[in-house]
Structure 1
């Protein structure tokens, strides 16, 4: 199962990339599990760890940690932003 991942703002800077294609291991079927999988990569990836203030969208729809992730989905991660 492959998904397209997008990283925005400070996450893009911390990770050194704006996007990637990722084949997910068996059992990673939610945004929360995906974040845990990515955070396990270490160092900069800890920015995606549980408890960090990161928002997610699947196919341009905001979702929580229990949001489903399926083959072909686009999953975007971004920090909350403020405006004025």
Structure 2
């Protein structure tokens, strides 16, 4: 089974795509390894939120994604 990581906004550009399938289960350290150093650096910033299974995590470092879950990486929204 796998976990789907969804990159939104500028993170999709950085990832050269909108989704990545990785082996599950997946914790925070595993996510950082899976997305590579450039994206890992970005998602560790306080301004980036992480959602798992449709719920934004209060503490993204508590991530515990199970097989079949979707993780969304949510950069800050800009615009007017």
**Pairwise same-fold verdict (TM > 0.5):** yes
Count residues in correspondence.
78
State the SS of the aligned residue for 1:71: coil
Alignment match, 1:36: 32
Alignment match, 1:73: 69
**For 1:19-40, what per-residue CA distance to the aligned partner results, in whole angstroms no more than 9, with x for missing partners?**
021114xxx643x22342135x
Alignment match, 1:57: 51
Q: C-alpha root-mean-square deviation of aligned residues, in Å?
A: 2.4
Q: Distance in 2 between matches of 1:78 and 1:55?
A: 5
Name stretches of at least 5 consecutive residues in structure 1 with no aligned partner. none
Structure 1 runs (4+) deviating above 3 angstroms are: 46-49
Question: Which has the larger share of strand?
Answer: 2
Return the TM-score normalized by structure 1. Answer: 0.70
Return the TM-score normalized by structure 2. Answer: 0.73
Name stretches of at least 5 consecutive residues in structure 2 with no aligned partner. none
